[in-house]
Amino acid sequence: MKTDPGKLPEIIKALEIKTMLLEPDSKGRKALFEQVNAYAENFLEGLDKRPVYCKDPKEGAGILNDPITDEPETIEKILEIFDAHVITPGLNPASPGHLGYIPGSGLYASALGDFLAAVTNRYAGIYAASPGASRMETMVIKWFAKKVGYPDSAAGDLTSGGSIANLSAIVAARDARGLKAKDFHRAVVYLCEHTHHCVEKAVKTAGLGESVVRHVPVDAFFRMDPIAFKKMVEQDRRDGFLPWLLVASAGTTDTGSVDPLEKLSHIAKANDIWFHVDGAYGASFALCESGQKRLKGIELSDSITMDPHKGLFAPFGTGIILVKNAADLHRPYQYEANYLQDEKTLASMEQVSSAEMSPELTRHFRGMRVWLALKLCGVSAFSAALEEKILLAQYAYDRLNRIDGIETGPFPDLSIVIFRYVPQKGDADQFNQMLIEEIMNDGTVYMSSTLINGKFMLRMAILSFRTHLEKIEQALTIIGKMIAQVQKNIL
Ligand SMILES: *Cc1c(COP(=O)(O)O)cnc(C)c1O
């Protein structure tokens, strides 16, 4: 159906008027910004008063009562809906009382970075489109690479998180070793029972679902046993398998244990096995002195996963994959021009586009939220916060050991403490299940649990930049109080 060309200008103009709501004027923007800022201020000022966890029987279903319609709604009404149905129910990861899983937090500086990235909407995926944005991201990646002790040949990519960073590492390892489909059933991946589940997911996603996954035994500190690893590799070689990939953890999610990276690296190297370190939780500790000591040997790896949305306190959606040799990440993802071949010079690496180092093309300008935070706060604030987390965990460990009936796991490698209460009679697992529920329902702090050697254990994971000594004291008080509460409930 062709419109009469003579009528087009009039029709087009009418449509143009209808689009005006998409571009508020300066006054309109200020009014919107004020409302949103007032909401953010209220949220941040009230953070410590909001429960860290809210079990809402409706589970946010109220959001569905306000369907998306043709007509605009006011920002006041929208913020009301957002607060009631999105912000209230469930977990509040921004809270200083979040001590469960691996806590996130969310730097204010990063929120400002996101705002600027979105308003200016720079195209960070392609160097030519925004050489400055691209250089900024490369700078952030190189800075992290240096912090973990990688040489100048290192490169990487800012990903959406640790899972995708691990996937990228596995894809890089697959192509670096030239694995072909005919070899997949013989290729062996070495993990341990505490390796994050996303690694096995990534192995499958990378097309290697048929590969052989072996679990290396762990010692009393839940760290991979290098002697057992060596024996497994030797046996596999004798049996005609292809030892291909070792994934060690620099801070497991369960217990925060750091595998013996140096010893593992020597065995991997001697056997031409790609050595990946999953440091999604722990690699950021390279920014502080105690952490650096703990992570010794991380620089001997071929690739490292980091998660600034954990250990650098950035909002969710920021991970990093680092590779020691830039060519290894470029190989799987290059799609054009030969100007960045394996022999590429460092000068050309400076102009690399993230689109050539990742499966993504158009994406969020992630570097801005990390760069702005590092620039605005300075690195020493981050180093101090991370050192503080390590010491808080040691303090909590010591205090927990003084509570009658509490049994702790090993001394924390980083900032996670595991423990349980052993009642004088009755089932310990059941008791601790009830204990964690009481702690969650109280809402002052949030902790999670895990199974270690079949035992139900509670975890205190300390990583939010907002968690300080006072909060840990509160957590310890709550634990004592809730133990008494469960004892009463049982009677
Ligand atoms: C959190 C975590 C992951 C997964 O990272 P996401 O950012 O959640 O995708 C992987 N490995 C470890 C050790 C983790 O702690």
| Nearest ligand 1 atom, CA 163 | 9
**In this structure, are residues 77 and 424 in contact, taking their beta carbons and an 8 Å threshold?**
no
Q: Name the residue with tokens 């690893």.
A: 229
Amino acid type, 91: L
Spatial separation of the C-alpha atoms in residues 156 and 471, rounded to whole Å: 36
Taking the centre of ligand 1 as the mean of its atom positions, its distance from the CA of residue 249, in whole angstroms, is 10
Q: In what order do the strands lie in the sheet with 406-408?
A: 98-99, 446-452, 455-461, 416-421, 406-408
Predicted confidence at residue 349, as pLDDT, reads 73
pLDDT given at position 316? 98
> What does the pLDDT profile of the chain (491 residues) look like in tens digits?
789 999 999 999 999 999 999 999 999 999 999 999 999 999 999 998 999 999 888 999 999 999 999 999 999 999 999 999 999 999 999 999 999 999 999 999 999 999 999 999 999 999 999 999 999 999 999 999 999 999 999 999 999 999 999 999 999 999 999 999 999 999 999 999 999 999 999 999 999 999 999 999 999 999 999 999 999 999 999 999 999 999 999 999 999 999 999 999 999 999 999 999 999 999 999 999 999 999 999 999 999 999 999 999 999 999 999 999 999 999 999 886 555 454 445 456 778 899 999 999 999 999 999 999 999 999 999 999 999 999 999 999 999 999 999 999 999 999 999 999 999 999 999 999 999 999 999 999 999 999 999 999 999 999 999 999 999 999 999 999 999 999 999 98
Instruction: Note whether 319 and 279 are within 8 A (CB).
Output: no
Mutate to test the pocket of ligand 1, among 163, 170, 413 (most ligand atoms within 8 A of CB): 163
Comparing CA positions, the residue from 306, 341, 378 lying closest to residue 107 is: 378
Ligand 1 pocket: which residues have CB below 6 Å? 102, 161-163, 196, 198, 249, 253, 278, 280-281, 307, 319
Q: What is the model's pLDDT at position 343?
A: 44
CA of 163 to the centre of ligand 1 (A): 6
Of 255, 276, 285, 307, the residue with max ligand 1 atoms within 8 A of its CB, to mutate for a pocket test, comes to 307
- CA–CA distance, 455 with 464 (Å, rounded to integer): 27
- Please choose, from the candidates 196, 390, 366, the residue with its C-alpha nearest in 3D space to the C-alpha of residue 286: 390
Q: Which of 267, 262, 254, 259 is nearest to 219 (CA)?
A: 259
State how far the Cα of 273 lies from the Cα of 188, in Å rounded to an integer: 9
Determine the straight-line distance between the first and last CA of the chain, rounded to whole angstroms. 79
Please name which of 427, 428, 433, 408 lies closest in space to residue 418, comparing C-alpha atoms: 408
Q: Which atom of ligand 1 is nearest to the CA of 195?
A: 13
CB atoms within 10 A of CB 489: 11
Sole residue written with tokens 């992290």: 144
CA distance to 162, 169, 374, 389, per residue, from 306 (Å): 6, 11, 16, 17
Which atom, in ligand 1's list, is nearest to the CA of 316? 7
**Among 164, 68, 186, 226, which Cα is nearest to 363's?**
164
Mutation to probe ligand 1, out of 158, 198, 255, 448 (largest number of atoms < 8 A from CB): 198
- What value, to the nearest 5°, has the Cα angle with vertex 281 and ends 278 and 283? 65
Residue 166 CA: nearest ligand 1 atom is 10
Among protein residues, the one with the nearest Cα to ligand 1's atom 6 is: 162
DSSP run (H or E) holding 460:
strand 455-461
How far, in Å, is the centroid of ligand 1 from the Cα of 463?
A: 14
CA of 352 to the centre of ligand 1 (A): 26
Give bridge partners of residue 249 from the DSSP assignment. Answer: 278
Mutate which of 278, 295, 415 for ligand 1 pocket (most atoms within 8 A of beta carbon): 278
- Looking only at Cα atoms, what is the longest distance across the chain? 90
Q: Is 375 helix (H, G, I), strand (E, B) or coil?
A: helix
Copy the structure tokens of residue 281.
Answer: 């939780």
Strand order of the β-sheet with 187-191 is 155-159, 319-323, 303-306, 274-279, 242-249, 187-191, 212-215
Distance 310 CA to ligand 1 centre (A): 9
Structure tokens at 253: 């999610």
List the residue whose alpha carbon is closest to atom 2 of ligand 1.
280
- Determine the distance separating the centroid of ligand 1 and the alpha carbon of 133, expressed in angstroms: 26
CA distance 374 to 369: 9
Nearest-angstrom CA–CA distance, 469 and 392: 7
> Which residues, 6 or more positions from 440, have their beta carbon under 8 angstroms from its beta carbon?
53, 55, 446, 447
Place of tokens 């040691």: 394
Residue whose CA is at the smallest distance from ligand 1 atom 8: 162
Ligand 1 pocket test, pick from 91, 98, 102, 191 with the greatest ligand atom count within 8 Å of Cβ, gives 102
- What is the residue-wise DSSP string for 12-62? HHHHHHHHGGGS--HHHHHHHHHHHHHHHHHHHHTTTTS-SEE--TTTTGG
CA distance 59 to 63: 10
Which atom of ligand 1 lies at the shortest distance from residue 307's CA? Answer: 7
Measure CA 435 to chain center.
27
Exposed, middle or buried, 158 (CB in 10 Å: 0-12/13-18/19+)?
A: buried
Of 190, 377, 380, whose CA–CA distance to 274 is shortest? 190
Instruction: Supply the DSSP symbol for 315.
Output: P
User: Atom 12 in ligand 1: which residue has the minimum CA distance?
Assistant: 280
Ligand 1 atom with the smallest distance to the CA of 249 is 13
Q: What is the rounded CA–CA span in Å between residue 442 and residue 431?
A: 17
